[in-house]
Structure 1
């Protein structure tokens, strides 16, 4: 999308308008309505969401803190570009968080809940469910592990990165659809097995490698940033 076209988005509720504006714009970004690099103009967004420009501005500030958008003086706000450097930064931080979360969750996490998510992934792959649906289960799997860590700052760190991870994984799927579907079940089933086995160091090591594997798969297909 080289120019901004007015699109119809779901109207925001009158309560908590800034938060709901952020949620609806986030959904539009993750659905591809606003692709990487697309401009996000307050006037058009306010008209589409039927809220004030102030609510949109606050909502965009939330998304900027999540790393989904970037603002620059005289250049406005845009969805982030997905460059190899961005991917390496996001996934390197995520690998550290995943290792700590998995290690801390040993003996605490709801293994049955994780098992249900893995089975839902298995059924989704077998039935040909959209890869975006599989990714939602993937994210929910990791959410469950972070919550089980009972570490507030770790959970907050994950949520600060979560939307970027979601966007990068959607890009990975778009560029390598079959690759993601081929590994999503086995990799999460292995994390579950290691959590059941109860060795914190082993599960942390595999969780980190799980992230590095995802990064390598993305970098193989992600175009180089222009000089």
Structure 2
């Protein structure tokens, strides 16, 4: 006879709280290092502290929140090591994704990438542009047609979002104007299926953000 199972608990409310807090972080309502107090969040969202506590644990697993006994929960501040690790992991995943898109993506998948680029032209502010940037990469990973690769991307997506938010927190000069053109070039290279060119363009795209965050000017 199998071991008895603990009754499942409904987690819908905690998931909804996590969604609201995550959106607030991504919209700039809570900056890196900002305090996330259970009591205040519970009052603002009209829920008890239990779902808030569960939501913060979920966000901690995503890498968006860090908890320390003497500070409580705060929005993650990326260290130099965090930035380097995210950049290197993203590079490895993206290299495979781009190669697969060049090799086998169909017209519908490429059209989905183009559609995100068009939305970039309508982005109202830097935070909306960051969301579009992430959606562009979502579309690239979807076009690769590799389920486990897409799952690996989803596992770090929130942290990459935080990476890009940190980037615009350092410097926004030319960001809104330059990002759409940069992604149009990436999309065009994917359509041309020019492997070497598109890999170089994606590498340059990552390098710019990494160097801004690492403080390098070379």
TM range (shorter): 0.7 to 0.9
Corresponding residue for 2:115?
Answer: 116
How many residues are aligned here?
204
Corresponding residue for 1:206?
Answer: 201
Corresponding residue for 1:46?
Answer: 42
* CA 1:65–1:200: 2 relative to 1, 3 Å: farther
Secondary structure of 1:51 counterpart: coil
Q: 2:125·2:176 contact (CA, 8 Å) conserved in 1?
A: no
* CA 1:217–1:75: 2 relative to 1, 3 Å: closer
Moved over 4 A (4+): none
TM-score by length of 2: 0.82
Q: Which of 77, 81, 94 is the equivalent residue of 2:73?
A: 77
Out of 20-29 and 209-218, give the one that drifted further: 209-218
Deviation at 1:167, TM superposition (A): 2.1
Q: Structure 1 residue 130 and structure 2 residue 125: aligned?
A: yes
Corresponding residue for 1:157?
Answer: 152
Deviation at 1:19, TM superposition (A): 0.7
Q: Which of 22, 42, 51 is the equivalent residue of 1:26?
A: 22
Consecutive unaligned residues in structure 1, runs of 5 or more? 1-13, 222-227
Deviation at 1:209, TM superposition (A): 2.9
Deviations 1:9-56 (A, max 9, x none): xxxxx9811111111111111222221112222222222212232211
Deviations 1:122-156 (A, max 9, x none): 354xxxx3122222221111111111222222222
TM-score by length of 1: 0.79
Q: Structure 1 residue 185 and structure 2 residue 184: aligned?
A: no
Q: Which of 75, 93, 97 is the equivalent residue of 1:101?
A: 97
Corresponding residue for 1:148?
Answer: 143
Q: Which of 163, 170, 174 is the equivalent residue of 1:168?
A: 163
Q: 1:99·1:203 contact (CA, 8 Å) conserved in 2?
A: no
1-structure distance, mates of 2:181, 2:211: 17
Secondary structure of 1:40 counterpart: coil
Consecutive unaligned residues in structure 2, runs of 5 or more? 1-9
Deviations 1:143-180 (A, max 9, x none): 11111222222222212221222222123223321232
2-structure distance, mates of 1:184, 1:99: 20
Q: 1:41·1:76 contact (CA, 8 Å) conserved in 2?
A: yes
